[in-house]
Structure 1
Amino acid sequence: MIQIKKLIKQADTKLILRGIDLSIEKGETVAILGPNGAGKSTLLKVIATLIKPTSGEVRINGFDLKKNGTDIKKLMGYLPHSSLLYEHYSPLENLVFFGNLYGVQDVEQKAIKLVKDVGLSFFLKEPVKNFSRGMIQRTAIARAIIHDPELLLLDEPHTGLDQGAISILNDVIISMKKKGATTLMVTHDFKQAADICDRIIIVKSGKIVDDFKITENQIDYVSKKYLEHTEGEL
């Protein structure tokens, strides 16, 4: 699904990504861990076609990132730190708008179902500007999957969420996995990574320093491996 070779990203004189080699198979749920400034979000943004690599090769589902950016965007759902929602629109209006961009069939019915799935049925037509952080994130989760993406990219998705929203997000990720989707998630939350991911990548100083598979709920193992490489860095 994702093939990355010798990926380098430089900003001015600073090397952010230093020769990343990474292969992710279709259907994998992968967490990217690492201290602040390690290059995690930069790697995700390169894959999301939001920033251009300085050099190296990135292929998504056979498409070349440099040549087929539009085709790649159609395959993915992206949940960054910001919601990307229109605050004066309701959840229904937002989902219909984004669904139409992707040519989703029966988009209104699908949007209503997704709003229900994320626990916001009573707020279906309420402007997003009136929502709490957790409610906005729930709506953003629905936005990211309105078109049933083959690749889901999540940047610190659990940050600031209440337990209900965390459970909904995890259910979404597991449900997408059952449909064959690939998920790549940047996170500092070891528990969530251990609960829902089957593979962990640890990034430090722009390089992958570890890459291993886990079984469910191996949080102690994940923590131990992380500390081996980061020496307690956040």
Structure 2
Amino acid sequence: MPDAIRVEGVCKTFGTRKAVDDVSFVLPEGAFLTIFGPNGAGKTTLLSMLSTLSRPSKGTIYICGIDAKEESESVRASIGVVSHSSMLYPDLTAEENLVLYGRLYGVPDVKNRAVNLLDAVGLKHRRLDQVRTFSRGMIQRVSIARALMNDPKVVLFDEPYSGLDPHATQVFDNLISDVRKDRTFVMVSHDLKKGMQLADHVLLMARGRAVCFGRKDKLEPDELNHLYEQTIGGGVA
């Protein structure tokens, strides 16, 4: 299958500290990659570079065959991002936020697209309410809808379950199932059970480096669990 994401020798330094250190992997179209690792492992920094919000200090990233450093605008048209920041305007309604985002990318029939996605995340009844009136979990659901407005080929999630109650978690799981076909997902997660449930590829990071990468069905569960426990405990260099 064609590559959705190709990461080649990527490094990111902040002063003398290497947040990401020589990471390489190839992810095929339609894959779901979960990135695990302790705090400070470089997971979010790597996701930031995949989303073009940050540029590698060294190395190259290709998204759908496009150089993310040289053609970042083209890459942004092909991706959706859910990060720790909602990227929503609190004084606009949920619908207005999605319509504004959709217009930036020339989404056809943008209002209906916005309403349908808000329905999919269980917030159609609140579509005309200002985002500032929403709970943390509701804001997260609007962020997920926003990330899908431009019908992206690649979707990047940084701890998407953060702030979601059990009902919202089920809504999110159902949405991922509905839109998974022909899309590639990358998710950063601390939740080993949920992350493994969704993934078909796994990347384990520690101290900025890739400790383990591969298809989930090719990795021995006991070995992966052992590596995960070592990494979380700081035992893996």
Task: Return the TM-score normalized by structure 2.
Answer: 0.92
CA distance in 2, matches of 1:221, 1:19: 23
Give per-residue Cα distances to partners, 1:70-100, cap 9 Å, x unaligned. Answer: 1000000000011111111111111111111
Q: Where in structure 2 are the equivalents of 1:6-85 lying within 5 Å?
A: 6-85=9-88
CA distance in 2, matches of 1:9, 1:145: 28
Q: Where in structure 2 are the equivalents of 1:81-120 lying within 5 Å?
A: 81-120=84-123
Give per-residue Cα distances to partners, 1:106-159, cap 9 Å, x unaligned. Answer: 111111111111111221101110011111111111000011100000111111
**1:212 aligned partner, one-letter code:** G
**2:126 aligned partner, one-letter code:** F
CA distance in 2, matches of 1:20, 1:60: 15
Give per-residue Cα distances to partners, 1:178-211, cap 9 Å, x unaligned. Answer: 2x11000011011211221111110011110012
**1:161 aligned partner, one-letter code:** L
| Structure 1 residues 219 and 101: CA distance shift in structure 2, 3 A | farther
Match of 2:199 among 197, 201, 210: 197
- 3-state DSSP of counterpart to 1:168: helix
Instruction: Name segments (4+ residues, structure 1) moved above 4 Å.
Output: 218-222
RMSD in angstroms over aligned alpha carbons?
1.8
**2:229 aligned partner, one-letter code:** L
- 3-state DSSP of counterpart to 1:172: helix
- 3-state DSSP of counterpart to 1:20: strand
Contact 2:25 2:213 in 1 (8 A): no
CA distance in 2, matches of 1:221, 1:157: 26
Contact 1:190 1:219 in 2 (8 A): no
Contact 1:201 1:210 in 2 (8 A): yes
- 3-state DSSP of counterpart to 1:149: coil
Contact 2:90 2:131 in 1 (8 A): yes
Partner of 1:162: 165
Q: Where in structure 2 are the equivalents of 1:129-208 lying within 5 Å?
A: 129-178=132-181, 180-208=182-210
Task: Return the TM-score normalized by structure 1.
Answer: 0.93
Contact 1:194 1:222 in 2 (8 A): no
Give per-residue Cα distances to partners, 1:151-179, cap 9 Å, x unaligned. Answer: 0001111112101111122222222222x
Contact 2:38 2:231 in 1 (8 A): no
Identity %: 36
**How far did 1:44 drift?**
0.4
**How far did 1:212 drift?**
3.1
| Structure 1 residues 221 and 94: CA distance shift in structure 2, 3 A | farther
CA distance in 1, matches of 2:101, 2:52: 18
Contact 1:173 1:183 in 2 (8 A): no
**1:207 aligned partner, one-letter code:** R
